[in-house]
Amino acid sequence: MKYKLRSLLTLFFILFLLTPDAAVHSLPVATPREVGFSEVRLSRINQVVQGYVDEQKIAGAITLIARKGKLAHFQIFGMMDIESRKPMQPDTIFRIASMTKPITTVALMMLYEEGRLLLSDPVSKYLPEFKNPQVLVINKEKDANPSPYKLVPANKSITIHHLLTHTSGITYTFQGSPYISDMYKKAGVSDGLSQTEGTIAQQVEKLAKMPLCHQPGEGFDYGLGIDVAGRLVEVISGMTLDNFFHERIFKPLKMKDTYFFLPDEKVSRLASLYQQTKDGKLEKYTDEPVEQELLKYSASYPYLGEKKYYSGGAGLVSTAEDYWRFLQLLLNGGQLDGTRLLSRKTVEYMASNHIGDTVMWNSPFDGYRFGLGFAVRTDVGTSAKIGSVGEYTWGGFFSTTFWVDPKEQMIGIMLIQLRPNEQLDIHDKFKVLAYQAIDN
């Protein structure tokens, strides 16, 4: 009798842990069947992700899938810190890096809706340091000038729209041409992935002195334009980017664990960052920043340093619950739980193709173009990824990712902390596993 009772209690406890409402109490929850998923097929996610943990490809992960406004899947896997045997928790905090960009974009679009700017406005209207930009071009007259490059005046002003679509000619230190990247590095331009001295205003002033890597509007070059957009939020609103986020976005959406810099009492909830060694084991990063040629990043920037630089392109940390609330706002057409931050038409505008036929990158972004804040799916058949036309998506430097599919009324979030992650295919598999579970 005691054995049977113990077995029943154990089974109940396991089932309780595996239900979404046990993982996140404040989110609306449905059974997979209620929102059109096969429960059996959706459970395939658990086996696959756990396999990556068992094989020491990742330390741990959180996966979340919502459909029709309700949570159908929320699972935690592995460890948030292997060395201390600290299991992943539902409220574990992650460095979301470039998943900051959609939030900064929403902030600027809120000001756009208030009539305080136009996307066609020159950036120099608000930041005079961006007047008269120059462009770095290949020097075809090497007899007169032996340098491989030369500077020419930009043929138009950089607009706010250029910033938000990564067509301004502003790049990142770690991915520009060697010549322009070296200029960024010597000038002390920060990519926002490590401790940075000074403020975003001071960093943007440095960036304004750098040449553009192409004429404004004539190419796609993923870069620090969203950090400049963050500075625009400050200048136009009269608030720091940190204060604007908290007062105008995080508080209304009840995003209680999203920050540029963590309060001391929440640092223990931040997942450790890992790298895979040559022998296939996971090694935790220390607090010391890592420098690899032109790339500089750290695991400790959310809690060490001056804590004055609010990187609109890469600075935030967040949780699965918080980021779901932000994405559900977008999927709902700009409102959540009676709080409206944007109009439906503005969200539709953000989720449209803003760069025409300009190619972002080759695979894995075949079939995608860029909207405002994220990539937008324009074609299904030319991509090796399952999904829908109109879906929008982006990810972060430390292995976080999301997608929103308006057609299927679905949101997917996967949070991992691993770098480098170029060979990690778990994000794509997670997406396949989510879509194959759709039953109606």
What is the pLDDT at residue 142? 66
**What is the dihedral sign for C-alpha 320, 244, 117, 235?**
negative
Domain assignment present for 360? yes
Same domain? For 80 and 113 the reply is: no
What is the pLDDT at residue 5? 41
Percent of the chain exceeding pLDDT 70 equals 93
Burial class (CB in 10 A: 0-12, 13-18, 19+), 375: buried
What's the CATH code of the domain at 207?
3.40.710.10
Burial class (CB in 10 A: 0-12, 13-18, 19+), 263: exposed
Domain assignment present for 206? yes
Same domain? For 211 and 335 the reply is: no
Domain assignment present for 348? yes
What is the domain range of residue 210?
104-245
The two three-digit tokens of residue 142, written as one number = 């090497």
What is the pLDDT at residue 8? 40
Same domain? For 229 and 326 the reply is: no
- From residue 413, how far is each of 66, 164, 402, 428 by CA, in Å? 9, 23, 4, 12
What is the pLDDT at residue 328? 98
What is the pLDDT at residue 279? 87
Same domain? For 144 and 184 the reply is: yes
Distance between CA 109 and CA 127 in Å, rounded? 18
The two three-digit tokens of residue 42, written as one number = 């959706």
Number of H helices, E strands in the chain: 14, 18
Domain assignment present for 6? no
- The pTM of the full predicted model, rounded to 2 decimals, is 0.93
The two three-digit tokens of residue 62, written as one number = 């959180």
Same domain? For 76 and 117 the reply is: no
Stretches in the chain below the pLDDT threshold 70: 1-25, 142-145, 362-364
Looking at 245, 275, 310, which one is the last position of a domain? 245
Same domain? For 401 and 342 the reply is: yes
Distance between CA 314 and CA 307 in Å, rounded? 14
Domain assignment present for 2? no
Identify whether the C-beta of residue 189 lies closer than 8 Å to the C-beta of residue 173.
yes
What is the pLDDT at residue 362? 58
Rg (CA), the chain: 22
Same domain? For 354 and 381 the reply is: yes
Domain assignment present for 309? yes
**Domain count of the chain?**
2
Same domain? For 397 and 380 the reply is: yes
Looking at 245, 275, 293, which one is the last position of a domain? 245
Q: Are strands 290-292 and 282-284 parallel, antiparallel or unpaired?
A: unpaired
pLDDT 10s digits, 256-303: 999 999 999 999 999 999 999 988 899 999 999 999 888 999 999 999
Same domain? For 67 and 178 the reply is: no
Looking at 219, 245, 271, which one is the last position of a domain? 245
- From residue 216, how far is each of 17, 29, 133, 170, 212 by CA, in Å? 52, 45, 9, 9, 8
Domain assignment present for 422? yes
Same domain? For 226 and 265 the reply is: no
Same domain? For 269 and 405 the reply is: yes
Identify whether the C-beta of residue 374 lies closer than 8 Å to the C-beta of residue 357.
no
Domain assignment present for 56? yes
What is the pLDDT at residue 89? 97
Same domain? For 355 and 430 the reply is: yes
